[in-house]
């Protein structure tokens, strides 16, 4: 046998002989996802809380669904991300708790954890949570605003968790796409966000399926500043670091809301400065507590860092208030 005939070409010889110089990047057919219609809602003028009860909506636990107040399947990571540098505008988040980050991954699809999921859009990845039968809430800056009356696709996968897939179970519980996106302000997540935008950094997406009837959904309640400095609040979402947005993490240690801002500095909205551990990917994740057995969100995570027009102190910022709840009511009532 003539071994010289079976000798492989060197890499350079193969390039010189066979490489096609005319080839450009191949085109791949991407899945066809539906766009959604953007629906602007006019905010209502704030009214004095001393003259009325707090505005709120009720959540739902479907018949036969179990509730776990602390999620099952917790793993301890001992992860400690570096604290972000203080900047003049909002950052992806702030980690408050020492000595370790207090977020922990979990594997639980009972209520309320089944009502939280990953949100994918052309603008990136965030977190969302169900607030009605087919109503999902997330951050406005997670949405891709097209400027033509539509948004890019909004995909919500409830209970998304790569750890379940590794254990031979489904990657997510249920999937839905947005048909409409109700908003007060279109927040552009491709640039730094100002306080006047962060206070309105929330949307309610009307989905193409009533997945909330099966999975359950959160209630919501207007924030009361009597709750300042009380460690009532919890959170769960899909942080990039840790977790790579593939596994949900929850805040194992309840945290406080430190300040409430209103007025012109926040564009006549309501913005809360809170503790907790938050990083990129948790945008849109609920901040919640239990009220007489009903789990209600007071706001969602917009971003963390420092807003110099508000304070020199760092915090994680949560849009909240009566219009936060009213947008959910608008979606439930007019888009059932």
3-state DSSP of the chain = CCHHHHCCCCHHHHHHHHCCCCCCCCCCCCCCCCCEEEEECCCCCCCCHHHCCCCEECCECCCCCCECCCCCCCCCCCCCCCCCCCCCCEECCCECCCCCCCEEECCCCCECHHHEEEEEECCEEEEEEEEECCEEEECHHHCCECCCCEECCCEEEECCCHHHHHCCCCCCCEEEEEEEEEECCCCCCCCCCCHHHHCCCCEEEEECCCCHHHHCECEEECCCHHHCCCCCEEEEECCCCCCCCCCCEEECCCECEEEEECCHHHCCCEEEEECCECCCCCCCCEEEEEECCEEEEEEECCEEECCCCCCCCCEEEEEECHHHHHHHHHHHHHCC
pLDDT given for residue 98 in this prediction: 61
Is there a contact between 255 and 94 (Cβ–Cβ < 8 Å)? Answer: no
**Which sign, positive or negative, has the C-alpha torsion 205, 206, 208, 209?**
positive
Which pTM does this prediction carry? 0.88
- Which residues lie below 8 Å from residue 132, measured CB to CB, with a gap of 6+? 57, 204, 212, 217, 328, 331, 332
Which residues of the chain carry a pLDDT beneath 70?
1-5, 30, 77-92, 97-99
pLDDT digits (tens, 9 = 90+) for 60-98: 999 999 999 999 999 876 555 544 444 444 566 788 866
- CA neighbours within 13 Å on the CB side: how many for 16? 5
Residues 6 or more apart whose Cβ sits within 8 Å of residue 215: 62, 65, 111, 114, 115, 130, 158, 159, 173, 174
Number of alpha carbons in the 13 Å side-chain half-sphere of residue 206: 19
Which residue has tokens 């009213």?
Answer: 326
User: What pLDDT shows up at residue 26?
Assistant: 75
Spatial neighbors of 316 by CB under 8 A, at least 6 apart, are: 93, 94, 96, 273, 274, 275, 276, 278, 301, 303, 304
- pLDDT confidence of residue 84: 46
Q: Is the peptide bond before 191 cis (omega within 30 degrees of 0)?
A: no
pLDDT of residue 48: 77
| Residue that has been written with the tokens 């959160």 in this structure | 218
- How does strand 219-221 pair with strand 294-300? parallel
């Amino acid at each position: 046998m003539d071994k010289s005939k079976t000798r492989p070409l060197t890499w350079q010889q193969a390039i010189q002989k066979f490489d096609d110089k005319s080839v450009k990047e191949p085109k791949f057919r991407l899945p066809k996802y539906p766009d959604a219609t953007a629906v602007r809602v006019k905010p209502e003028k704030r009214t004095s809380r001393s003259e009325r009860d707090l505005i709120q909506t009720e959540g739902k636990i479907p018949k036969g669904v179990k509730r776990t107040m602390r999620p099952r399947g917790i793993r301890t990571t001992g992860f400690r991300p570096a604290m972000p540098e203080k900047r003049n505008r909002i950052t992806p988040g702030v980690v408050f708790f020492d000595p370790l980050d207090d977020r922990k991954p979990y594997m639980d699809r009972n209520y309320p954890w089944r009502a939280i999921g990953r949100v994918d859009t052309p603008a990136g990845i965030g977190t969302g949570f169900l607030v009605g039968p087919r109503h999902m809430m997330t951050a406005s800056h997670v949405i891709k605003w097209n400027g033509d009356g539509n948004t890019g696709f909004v995909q919500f996968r409830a209970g998304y968790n790569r750890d379940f897939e590794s254990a031979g179970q489904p990657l997510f519980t249920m999937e839905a796409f947005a048909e409409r996106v109700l908003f007060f302000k279109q927040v552009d997540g491709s640039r730094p966000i100002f306080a006047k935008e962060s206070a309105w950094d929330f949307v309610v997406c009307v989905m193409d399926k009533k997945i909330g009837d099966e999975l359950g959904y959160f209630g919501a309640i207007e924030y009361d500043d009597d709750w300042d400095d009380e460690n009532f609040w919890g959170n769960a979402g899909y942080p990039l670091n840790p977790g790579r947005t593939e596994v949900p993490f929850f805040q194992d240690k309840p945290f406080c809301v430190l300040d409430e801002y209103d007025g012109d500095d926040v564009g006549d909205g309501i913005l809360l400065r809170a503790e907790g551990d938050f990083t990129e990917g948790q945008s849109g994740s609920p901040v919640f507590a239990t009220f007489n057995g009903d789990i209600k969100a007071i706001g969602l995570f917009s971003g963390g860092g420092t807003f110099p027009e508000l304070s020199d102190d760092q915090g994680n910022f949560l849009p909240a208030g009566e219009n936060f709840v009213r947008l959910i009511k608008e979606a439930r009532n007019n888009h059932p």
